[in-house]
Amino acid sequence: MPSTRNGGPQTTPSGGVVGQQETPTKEDKEGKVEEDESSASDEDSFSYDEGESERRKSRCLDDMLHLENQFAELKELLYKERMEDVEQKLDQLSKDSAPEYVNPLRELTENRDKRLHVSELVLAQKKYGSQCKYEQEIASATLDYEEGAKLCKMKIISEIEENIQRLKEEEVLADMTAESNHRKRKSKPSEFLLLEKRKKPVVVTDIQSMQSYSPFIHFMLCNALTLCSHVHM
């Protein structure tokens, strides 16, 4: 701290003497007045801001209530419109006039008609193929039957002709044997009886065993038997 020489009074940097009361200057007074005015204006502005905020809050609450009412009205209106749309669609569905139902139904109907047409064509083709196959099998079976019947008829006719020929040959052989025996009985009865005992007579079974031979061989055998009988006479 600055001091004076010889123990004199001390002074301040502003030129005042330490220990003496300072008197306020004009500048100090003006600053104090400004501070008082600013504090008063702050109090007035605070009271003004508080009232304005209350008014704004009230307006915001009113606006919010109004918006809520509008939202409720719009929601109710939207609900009614949606219900009307749903009822209209239900009515269209009941009358088969709804586009969401009619268009897919039309496509399904067209696809069904196409598939039915194709199925009918395939069925007709299969029927035609089956009919052709049936007619071919009938014709083949008829031809086989006719050929078999013809062969069977020819075989039966051939067997009958063979039997007739064999019977004729047997008849001729029997006539020849009877005539030979008749001559033998007239010429030499005793020798004929002896010869009959010695030789084995030709019976019907022996003649039937010759059925498998041809007519020529059969005829030759008959002639051989006749010659043998004449030799023994």
Q: What is the DSSP string of the chain?
A: ----GGG---B-TTSPBTTSPPPP-HHHHHHHHHHHHHHHHHHHHHHHHHHHHHHHHHHHHHHHHHHHHHHHHHHHHHHHHHHHHHHHHHHHHHTT--HHHHHHHHHHHHHHHHHHHHHHHHHHHHHHHHHHHHHHHHHHHHHHHHHHHHHHHHHHHHHHHHHHHHHHHHHHHHHHHHHHHHHHHHH-HHHHHHHHHHSPP--HHHHHHGGGS-HHHHHHHHHHHHHHHHHH-
For the cut 80, the answer to whether the pLDDT of residue 94 exceeds it is no
pLDDT at 99: 78
The verdict on pTM exceeding 0.75 is no
pLDDT one-digit tens code per residue, 48-84: 577 778 888 888 888 889 888 999 999 999 999 999 9
pLDDT one-digit tens code per residue, 116-154: 999 999 999 999 999 999 999 999 999 999 999 999 989
| Higher pLDDT among residues 53 and 183, named by residue | 53
